[in-house]
Structure 1
């Protein structure tokens, strides 16, 4: 058994998601556990170098967690042959340019989504990576949430019978900034900076739907900018040019109908910030981020519409919680481990840049449907043999 390090260029990890999920709870957690065991028994330990535009932020972050290597010079980092993986968690508008550079430098690519600001550019990145022969992957973290793992377990067991419909509710109230500071950065609400909940969330919905229920065949979407003005990080008001809510219907293969509400302007009265209800001929389930509850046809109550009497049913008590049956690690960390094994040991990793492009396609078609006020079909994406 041998122990080796693998150099990872981590660009854009000074932001909330990059710091918490990718650096602290993934890469540093893997280091603290002693690395990852490969199929042959070898141990691989990630060796990150933090890259970004702000020397002050990088120096502070590296110092806080005892990381020796950091830089504001991406080109110099890409020139180092010891760093074989490039990871990108920047704002979307910066991502494609840097990923393109990293591919040209022969680095394996792992990045957040959306992978680019347009479908054409997302497909170009996937094509470039294939031509260069570099391994590549896109973060698809929600597949590794405990609640969705439990839901996938039910689907694989044919618990639902024929799945009829899916209802997804996602969101929470993001404060405008006037009297409570906002929980999200201001660029999220500016279209010109790559903002908007359709761009942000439809990439997630695409891989969740495709991987759990079936390929998306068509989409109908209505976007809204409910809050026209917010306050930025410097206390200045700005006009919101991007959507902060989206109301969509997806048609999947097998005629499964999915209704998905995504909103940063909704107050939460449900079990979690994301809930997914699946209804089938034999049973139903409601999954959140960590939990999943079920109701089989033999346990389904028989309510009768009668507004003249108090409701006699306690509906929320008539569901059964699924057991954990396993220890659930952080979803981002799980996927990082899978990608590192893919790079070092060539184990399977299906969530590549083409899958990332499908997410961008979903966002683009959602925006098109909203603009044209109609259903839009979802074409199948493939890569050409040559650029």
Structure 2
């Protein structure tokens, strides 16, 4: 069966072929063409259903088309969608207040994408270093971790260690020092009087859901306090319920100076991101020094506020913890049966497949053919990040399908 797409009936194969000459080839998606979605399930143009175990890299923490979020978007679409920041809008203050309260910080800089939030934080940290810390102009440095993923803009790939992201895109932006992740001694050695900030992911998502040792985040907090520099936590993938807490830093009771949010903040409906920080930090920005036409737009603010309301109940954080136990138990049972190892926190896991069974891409394709959507990362590692709304039954089914695929081999 085919469904109407645009002006004609077109199958998945036809639609995939149609993309080839007109879309830039900066992605290598799995060969599935999604047309509809609800909750944890999506459907392709032929009507085949798939369980979404990726959730838009955590952008869909609350599932596809969550009723409360859709209602908020529809309601705002009938009122006002964009003013730019040339004017105030009636949704922005409530959004900023709710995000600040959710994170325990003071002020919010609304942006659109995760990469924009990171770029904004880099600018803010440098300006803070010059105006507040007293670093000589042009000498501010930022310490980052190897194997990081903060986005793909020119500045961000300047401090990436992923050559696929870097090759051919220089010259690169200076001012960054890269240290091994989860190595407090190396981090402390890299920090000096020029350091504006330490920027890290509390859990490295793109690297394969790499979870640091207990005490690492507390150690980062201590190092940055002693050095008089900022601790910037990139919670764009790890935050907003994914790990079983609102923020991943909460697992160590750490409050950074700056928290970066994105992905799930837009509920899978619109791109919404935010730099949330102590007042002293964001007050270095003055009119004209930074901005975004769409940042803080009324539609984004309405959806973002509805996302915060969902998180305020604690239901989704609790669900991630409870279902996370089921996920860990299921993966533990597969170790030695095609799984070499895994790392998991909440409803988020990086699973290392025995390379003899296939690459991560091949395993992902095999799972797709069985109705499960996941995405590979490096080598033979796949990531599992289902919507927090997934049922226990569906999660067990996904784990059973993974077991079956590993038994057969890719």
Common fold by TM > 0.5: no
Q: TM-score, normalised by structure 2?
A: 0.29
Q: TM-score, normalised by structure 1?
A: 0.30
